[in-house]
Structure 1
Amino acid sequence: MDEKAIDAPQSLRYDAKAISSYYRYRPWQVIGRAFSIVWLFGGFIIRILLDRWFGKTEINRPKRATEIRKILTKLGPTFIKVGQALSTRPDLIRRDFLNELIELQDRLPPFDNQTAFKIIESELGHKIRDIYREISANPIAAASLGQVYRGILYSGEEVAIKVQRPNLRPLLSLDLYLMRWGASWLAPWLPLNLGHDLTLIVDEFGTKLFEEIDYVNEAKNAEKFALNFDGDPQVKVPFIYRQYSSSRVLTLEWINGIKLTDIERIEAAGLDLDNLIEIGVTSGLRQLLEYGFFHADPHPGNLFATLDGRMAYIDFGMMDQLEEWMKETIASAVVQLINRDYQALAKDFVRLGFLSPNVDIEPIIPALEQVLGRAIGESVSSFNFKTITDEFSELMYEYPFRVPAKFALIIRSLITQEGLALSLNPNFKIIEVSYPYVSQRLLTGESPQLRRRLLDVLIRDGKFQWERLENMIAIARSDNNFELLPTARLGLQYLLSEEGKYLREQLLLAITEDERIHTDEVKRLWSLIQDEIKPQSIFELAFSTFRDFSIERVATIMPTAIS
C-alpha cells in the first residue's frame, strides 16, 4: 500500500483516488458507515414507495421533505453540507424539497472541552495558558465542522478561537468515498438532468468541503476579503492572528456586534435596519461583480451589525473566485432579465454554462419568457431572486439546463442575503438596490469586456435601444451615491477612443435613423440629466476630456464621427 493512500483521510486537499485507495483496504470501516446510511435512507425510500402504493404521495410530500432534512442532520457534518449544497440545485431537487433543505441548520451539539483544548495545544505547540491569557470555559457556538471559544491574548486583544471537530477529515473522506461509489452506480437510474457525470459533482463538492475545513486557507480568504474592502467605512472584517492559527485552529479578532436576526437589539442600539440591509446587498454585489471574490455562506450566524453601524463578516471558509468574463456576463444577464430580452439572456446562459454550446436555444426562449416573465411580474419592483429560482426550477426538468458549481454557490449567496434582508424588512426589494448598482457597473465600464457588454445591451439587431439607455440612467440615478459627471466623462473618453468607433457610428445612425433626426429621444435623455449637468459643467467636462487627447488624435476621430 502506498504512503499516499495511508495518509488520505488526513490530507488537507481532497484527492478522490487517494481516498479510494485507502478505503479499498479497510472494508470494515466502509461497511459500518454504509450500513448506517442505508438504514436511514432505506427506511425513507420504503415510505416513499408506500406513499405511491396507497396514493398518498401528494398528501405526505411535506412530511417526507421534513424527514429528509432530519436524516441529513442525523448523519452528521458531510450530509448537512450536502443538504445545504443541494438547496441551491433546482436542476437536481424538486421545489418542495428545496424549501425544506434551505431550513437545514448547520448546528450540532459541542464536543467536550478537554478534546478541544488538546487540539489547540497539539496544533499550536504550546499549553493553553501560554497562548491565551483567558479562554471561555465552554464554547459560545458549535457548528457541524467546529466550535468557537472566546479568549483574550496576553497582548490584550479579545479574540474568537475556532477549533475543528476531532477526526473530521476521516469522517468526511469516508462519506465522500461512499457518495462517489454510490454516484457511479446510481446515476443511470436517477431521473436527474445533470449535463455531466454525477461523480464530478461529488468531486466538486469534496474539493470545496476540504477547502472549508482548512483554516490556513480560511485565514488567506479573510485577508484577501479584508484587502478588497480596505478603506470601506461600511464593512468590517476581523483581523487574523496567524501566529495562533493552524489548519485546525483559527484565532481571529473578536467582533462586538449584534446578530442581524436580533431586530430588537439592533433597534435598541439606534441602528438603521434599512441601511444595514443596503450595506449587505451592495457589499454582496461588489463581491460578485467588482472583486469576483465572494462570501458563499452569508447566513445570519456569519453577519453582524457593529455598534457603529457597519456590517461585519466572519467565517471565510466557503469562498469562491469568479473570472473577469463571468462577472461581466452576470451583470449583462441581470440587465437582459430586467429588460425582458430573453434571446440575449439565453445566449448569456450559454456563456455561463447553464446551457451547452451545442443546444438549440430557439425552443427554450419562449419557455424562458413564460416562466421568468411570470416571476418578474408586472413591474421591476416585484422582482426577487427566490421567486426567480423557484420558477426557474420548473425549466430544469423540461430543458437541458444545469447549474455550474460556481453558480450553486452564487445562488446560495444571493438567496441567503435576500432572505436575511426580507426577515429584517418584509417590504424590502433587493432589485431596488441591485439593479442600480448593475446599471452603474455597465455605464462606467472600467474594462473593455464590460464596455462590450454595455454595447450588447444598448444595440440589438444593429439598432440603438434608446429606451434601455434611458432606463439604465434613470435607475442608476435612483442611487444617491451615483455621480453622473464622472460617468459622463468616462463615456465621452470612450466615444473619442479607437475602441469607441463602433458606438460612435451606432449613435449617429440612431440619431438619423429612418431619415429623420431623433430629437425626441435626445430630449428625453436630456430631461434625465439636466439637473446635474449645467452648461458650465459641460464645458469643464469637454475641456478636461479633450485635454487628455492629442490634436492629432482628435483630428483622426472627427472624420469618422461625421462620415
Structure 2
Amino acid sequence: MNPHQSTSRRVYDPETIADHYRRRPWQALWRVITVIWFFSGFIIGLIWDQWRHRGVTETPKRASQLRHVLTRLGPTYIKVGQALSTRPDLIRKDFLEELTKLQDQLPPFDTRIAMAILEKELDRDLDAVFSQISPQPVAAASLGQVYKARLNTGEEVAVKVQRPNLLPMLTLDLYLMRLGARWFAPILPLNLGHDLTLIVDEFGVKLFEEIDYINEGRNAERFATYFDGDPTIKVPSIYWKYTSTRVLVLEWIDGFKLTDIDSIEAAGLDMDSLILVGVTSGLRQLLEFGFFHADPHPGNLFAMADGRMAFIDFGMMDQLNQQTKETLVDSVVHLINKDYTELAGDFVRLGFLTPDTDIRPIIPALETVMGDIIGESVRDFNFKTITDSFSELMYDYPFRVPAKFALIIRSLVTQEGIALSLNPDFKIVEVAYPYVARRLLKGETPALRRRLIEVLFKDGRFQWQRLENMIAIAQADGNFDILPTAQLGLQYLLSEEGNFLRRQIVLALTEDDRLHTEEVQRLWGLIQQDLKPSRLFDAALGALTEFSTAQVAALRTE
C-alpha cells in the first residue's frame, strides 16, 4: 500500500461519535455500570481515608488502587493514566508517582484472531507473504501486539497487529468521558485554564492518531529523515506493501531493551555512551527538529550491538514550532542562570501562564522552588524534581500544563528515568546544559545568535559570570572543542550582523569607567588550554578568509 494513496483515515470526531451513541443508548449502559462499579470502590476508599485520618495529604494505598482500577478498565483508561502521570496541575504528587508506574502492557489476545485480522488486512494468504511467523506474540501492549516474522523475500520483520474491536471500545469510552467532563467539570477543583471537554478532545485526537498505523509509518519515515546520516540512531524501515490502518510491518530490530542491563553489559556496550546518545537525541528532537517521540519508554528504545540506539513505535509524536523551540532554549538558560523574572516570562510565552497573569508574586515562588532544585551546583538539577515541585506550585498559582507540554514532560521524565536506571549517578543537566550552551556559543542560526546576546546582556550590561558559566559547563562535555566555536564567534564579530556585539563588547570592557581585566583573565584561564598559539592562528586565519579585503578595511574604519 502506498502511504500517499488515499486511505480510510481514523479521525477523531466527537460530534459524530456522540450522535452514534445517542441513537444507541443501550450500548453505553453496561459500560457505564462497569466504570461506576470500579470507581465507586476507589471513591468510597478515599472518603473512608478522609474520615479516619482528617487532613491527610498522601494516601499511597489509594494511589495504588487507582492504578489497578485504570489497568482493569482496559486500553483507554491505561492511556488516561499515562496521560495523567504527566499532569502535575491535575494530579496530587502521591498519585502522580503511582501513575508513572503504569505499564503499557496487557495480556495478549488470541493469536488465531490476530492471524485472521492480518490475513484480512493483507487480503491474501499469509503463506504468500511470510515464510515464517512466531506462534506467539513477542510483545503485547494496550493497543496491539507484535509478532516476529520473515518475509518470503528473506527480510526479518516485526508485524504489529491491532487488537480486535479496539475502535468501538475507544469511541465508547471517549463518548462517556466527554459526557462526564461536561457534567462534572463545574464541581471538580481542577486548575485547567480551559474547558475539561477540550482536554478529552485533545486526548481523543492523539489516541486516534496512535491507532492509525498508516500515520505511524509516516511518522517513522519523517523521524528517520531528521537523523539521516547520524551514526548513533537507527529507525526501522517500513514495508508499505504490507501495511494498513490496522497492521504495520517494519524492519526487525535486533537489540536489547534499555532495562536489560545484564545483556547490555555482556555485549560490551558502554552505559554512559548509550545515555549520551539517548538524551542528546531527545534534546535534538525538541530543540532542533521540533518533531519528537512522545512515548520513549524502555520498550520503545533498544541498544544495538554496534552501539546505536534504535527507536520504535512512532504512534505518539508531536510537533513544536520555531518560536517554541527557541523559547525552550531560553527557559533552560534562564533556569540555570537563576533569572527568575525572565523564566516567568518564558512560562507565559510557552502557555503555562496566561498573558494577563500578574507574574510579580510568582517570581519569588519560582526563586524559592527552583533555587532548591538547582542547589549549590547546576549538576544537582533533574526533571523529575522539577515535575514534583511544580505539582506543589500548581495549586497555589495559576499554572496549567498545555497538552503539548504534557507530552514533552512525559518524554523528558521518561528519558531521564531510563538514564538513571542505567547509571544511578546520572545528572541530565550534564548533557542538557552543555548541549544548549554549545548551540548558543556556536550560534549556527541568527535566532540562536540573538539568544546568545540576550543571555550575555541584561539591562544593557554585559554578564561576565554568565559567559564564564556557559563556557565552563560546555567544557564539561569532553567532546566540546572551544576552537571551532571561537572561529564561528570571530566570523560573527567581523560580519555586518556582529556590528552591535562589537560595540557592546568594547563598552563591556570599559564599563564603570574601568578596564575589566580581571574578568578577561578569568575567561582566558578557562580557555587557554584549548587555544594553543598555532591552533589559534589557524582559526583566526580561517575566519578572516571568509571576508573580503573590503570588509576588513570597513571594519578598520569603524
Q: So what's the TM-score if we normalise by structure 1?
A: 0.95
User: What is the match of residue 98 of structure 1?
Assistant: 96
User: What is the match of residue 205 of structure 1?
Assistant: 203
User: What is the match of residue 501 of structure 1?
Assistant: 499
Q: Structure 1 regions of 5+ residues with no counterpart?
A: 1-9
Stretch deviating more after TM superposition (407-416 or 277-286):
277-286
User: What is the match of residue 3 of structure 1?
Assistant: none
Stretch deviating more after TM superposition (145-154 or 42-51):
42-51
Residue number among 229, 232, 240 corresponding to 1:231 in the alignment: 229
Q: In structure 2, how many angstroms separate the alpha carbons of the residues matched to 1:503 and 1:355? A: 33
Deviations 1:109-133 (A, max 9, x none): 1111121111111112111111111
Preserved contact between residue 132 and residue 154 of structure 1 (Cα < 8 Å): yes
Preserved contact between residue 258 and residue 306 of structure 1 (Cα < 8 Å): yes
User: What is the match of residue 7 of structure 1?
Assistant: none
Q: In structure 2, how many angstroms separate the alpha carbons of the residues matched to 1:555 and 1:351? A: 42
Q: In structure 2, how many angstroms separate the alpha carbons of the residues matched to 1:110 and 1:375? A: 42
Deviations 1:235-288 (A, max 9, x none): 111111111111110111111111111111111111111221121111111111
Instruction: Supply the AA of the counterpart residue of 2:496.
Output: E
Instruction: Supply the AA of the counterpart residue of 1:498.
Output: E
Residue number among 369, 381, 390 corresponding to 2:388 in the alignment: 390
User: What is the match of residue 522 of structure 1?
Assistant: 520
Deviations 1:312-368 (A, max 9, x none): 111111111111111111111111111111111111111111111111111100000
Task: List, as ranges, runs of 4+ consecutive aligned residues in structure 1 with deviation greater than 4 Å.
Answer: 555-560
Deviations 1:155-214 (A, max 9, x none): 111111000011111111111111111111111111111111111111111111111111
Shift in Å, 1:473: 1.1
Q: In structure 1, how many angstroms separate the alpha carbons of the residues matched to 2:554 and 2:318? A: 44
Alignment of 1:116-515 (within 5 A): 116-515=114-513
Q: In structure 2, how many angstroms separate the alpha carbons of the residues matched to 1:317 and 1:300? A: 15
Deviations 1:367-419 (A, max 9, x none): 00101111222211211110111011111001011111111111101111111
User: What is the match of residue 53 of structure 1?
Assistant: 51
Shift in Å, 1:533: 2.1
Q: Secondary structure in 2 aligned to 1:390?
A: helix
User: What is the match of residue 6 of structure 1?
Assistant: none
Q: Secondary structure in 2 aligned to 1:304?
A: strand
Q: In structure 2, how many angstroms separate the alpha carbons of the residues matched to 1:378 and 1:48? A: 40
Identical aligned pairs, as a percentage?
66
Stretch deviating more after TM superposition (98-107 or 502-511):
502-511
Answer yes or no: is 1:22 the counterpart of 2:20. Answer: yes
Q: In structure 2, how many angstroms separate the alpha carbons of the residues matched to 1:202 and 1:449? A: 36
Instruction: Supply the AA of the counterpart residue of 2:48.
Output: L
Instruction: Supply the AA of the counterpart residue of 2:273.
Output: N
User: What is the match of residue 4 of structure 2?
Assistant: none
Deviations 1:90-141 (A, max 9, x none): 0000000000000011111111112111111111211111111100111111
Q: In structure 2, how many angstroms separate the alpha carbons of the residues matched to 1:162 and 1:491? A: 49
Instruction: Supply the AA of the counterpart residue of 1:204.
Output: E
Shift in Å, 1:497: 2.8
User: What is the match of residue 39 of structure 2?
Assistant: 41
Answer yes or no: is 1:74 the counterpart of 2:86. Answer: no
Preserved contact between residue 332 and residue 454 of structure 1 (Cα < 8 Å): no
Distance 1:555 1:19, change over 3 A: farther
Preserved contact between residue 325 and residue 449 of structure 1 (Cα < 8 Å): no
Shift in Å, 1:541: 2.7
Instruction: Supply the AA of the counterpart residue of 2:32.
Output: A
Q: In structure 2, how many angstroms separate the alpha carbons of the residues matched to 1:254 and 1:57? A: 53
Deviations 1:480-523 (A, max 9, x none): 22222221222222223333233222211111101111111112
Preserved contact between residue 440 and residue 452 of structure 2 (Cα < 8 Å): yes
User: What is the match of residue 4 of structure 1?
Assistant: none
Shift in Å, 1:59: 8.7
Instruction: Supply the AA of the counterpart residue of 1:73.
Output: T
Q: In structure 2, how many angstroms separate the alpha carbons of the residues matched to 1:558 and 1:215? A: 61
Q: In structure 2, how many angstroms separate the alpha carbons of the residues matched to 1:59 and 1:207? A: 34
Distance 1:23 1:175, change over 3 A: same
Instruction: Supply the AA of the counterpart residue of 1:16.
Output: P
Q: In structure 1, how many angstroms separate the alpha carbons of the residues matched to 2:119 and 2:155? A: 20
Instruction: Supply the AA of the counterpart residue of 2:230.
Output: D
Preserved contact between residue 436 and residue 477 of structure 1 (Cα < 8 Å): yes
Preserved contact between residue 111 and residue 165 of structure 1 (Cα < 8 Å): yes
Preserved contact between residue 12 and residue 208 of structure 2 (Cα < 8 Å): yes
Q: In structure 2, how many angstroms separate the alpha carbons of the residues matched to 1:456 and 1:350? A: 18
Distance 1:60 1:559, change over 3 A: closer
Q: In structure 1, how many angstroms separate the alpha carbons of the residues matched to 2:231 and 2:44? A: 56
Preserved contact between residue 51 and residue 60 of structure 1 (Cα < 8 Å): no
Shift in Å, 1:429: 1.3
Q: Secondary structure in 2 aligned to 1:402?
A: coil
Preserved contact between residue 50 and residue 56 of structure 2 (Cα < 8 Å): no
Instruction: Supply the AA of the counterpart residue of 2:253.
Output: I
Q: Secondary structure in 2 aligned to 1:499?
A: coil
How many residue pairs are counted as aligned between the two chains? 551
Preserved contact between residue 9 and residue 212 of structure 2 (Cα < 8 Å): no
Q: Secondary structure in 2 aligned to 1:152?
A: strand
Distance 1:523 1:35, change over 3 A: same
Residue number among 109, 122, 129 corresponding to 1:111 in the alignment: 109
Instruction: Supply the AA of the counterpart residue of 1:134.
Output: Q
Preserved contact between residue 376 and residue 388 of structure 1 (Cα < 8 Å): no
Q: Secondary structure in 1 aligned to 2:303?
A: strand
Q: In structure 2, how many angstroms separate the alpha carbons of the residues matched to 1:160 and 1:88? A: 30
Q: Secondary structure in 1 aligned to 2:56?
A: helix
Stretch deviating more after TM superposition (466-475 or 529-538):
529-538
Preserved contact between residue 372 and residue 392 of structure 1 (Cα < 8 Å): no
Q: In structure 2, how many angstroms separate the alpha carbons of the residues matched to 1:66 and 1:152? A: 41
Preserved contact between residue 439 and residue 472 of structure 1 (Cα < 8 Å): yes
Shift in Å, 1:556: 4.3
Shift in Å, 1:555: 4.4
- Report the RMSD for the aligned CA atoms in angstroms: 1.6
